[in-house]
């Protein structure tokens, strides 16, 4: 991965993990887990991004985006999620395929083309995995929903969105967990085992790992 691409992906990840908040600090280990890199790689990149004025680092607490870093992240996220909508809705790719291919298109996208793409798609507000698309003025108001891990046994819920992660999207396609479907949390298996959930329409039960459930947002 080229360094320029790597930097923008780090900035995008920080924005996503804060839900758009300018105050929320993101720990290095959370960034490392999301990007599947080592904590030392995160530390090295945070040093570079601090030198370029794109993040502020508070040792032992985490990082926040500066206004410069936030704008870079918003431009990337806007392009990426509009490409995802196009690939998913118009070319009938799966959510994971749309995400993977959008990664190859978003970094060099011209702003005029992205605005025209938005018009062509009838101004979508969310991507295929439920996350908010910044508008052309780069307004970004991500709503906050509970993680699947945060709800109590017996609770009924609707799937709202998933974190942008290729392996997670592939996993959810494999177990057939889709946006807007309605479920009930039946139980948590012992010894930090998976969560058992039941589809309220089909009554089909599946197991979701604790790790995956932490990146599934419900309402």
Q: What are phi and psi of 118, to 5 degrees?
A: -60, -45
Q: Tens of pLDDT along 74-100?
A: 999 999 999 999 999 999 999 999 999
Contact 95, 129 (CB under 8 A): yes
Residue with tokens 């945070």: 46
Buried b (16+ CB within 10 A) or exposed e, 166-184: eebbebbeeeebeeeeebb
User: Between 107 and 83, whose confidence is greater?
Assistant: 83
Q: What is the dihedral of CA 30, 128, 167, 217, to 10 degrees?
A: 50
- Topology annotation, domain 146-218: SH3 type barrels. (2.30.30)
What is the Cα–Cα distance from 128 to 82, expressed in whole angstroms? 9
Three-point CA angle 133, 135, 136, nearest 5°: 135
Question: 3-69 — its CATH code?
Answer: 1.10.10.10
- Containing H/E element for 23? none
Q: Tens of pLDDT along 42-58?
A: 999 999 999 999 999 99
**In the chain, what are the domain boundaries?**
3-69, 146-218
């Amino acid at each position: 991965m080229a360094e320029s691409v790597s930097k923008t992906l780090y900035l995008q990840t920080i924005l996503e993990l804060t839900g758009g908040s300018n105050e929320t600090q993101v720990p290095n280990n959370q960034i490392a887990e999301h990007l599947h890199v080592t904590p030392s790689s995160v530390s090295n990149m945070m040093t570079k991004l601090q030198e370029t004025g794109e993040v502020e680092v508070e040792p032992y607490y985490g990082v926040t985006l500066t206004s410069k870093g936030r704008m870079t992240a918003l431009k990337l996220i806007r392009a990426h999620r509009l490409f995802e909508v196009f690939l998913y809705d118009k070319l009938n790719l799966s959510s994971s395929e749309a995400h993977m291919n959008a990664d190859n298109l978003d970094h060099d996208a011209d702003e005029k083309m992205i605005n025209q793409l938005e018009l062509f798609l009838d101004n979508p507000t969310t991507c295929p995995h439920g996350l908010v698309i910044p508008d052309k003025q780069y307004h970004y108001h991500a709503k906050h929903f509970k993680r699947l891990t945060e709800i109590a046994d017996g609770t009924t819920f609707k799937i709202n969105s998933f974190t942008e992660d290729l392996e997670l999207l592939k996993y959810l396609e494999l177990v057939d967990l889709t946006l807007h479907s309605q479920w009930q949390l039946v139980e948590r298996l012992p010894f930090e085992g998976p969560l058992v959930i039941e589809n309220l329409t089909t009554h089909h039960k599946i197991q979701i790992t604790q790790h995956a459930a932490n990146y599934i947002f419900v309402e």
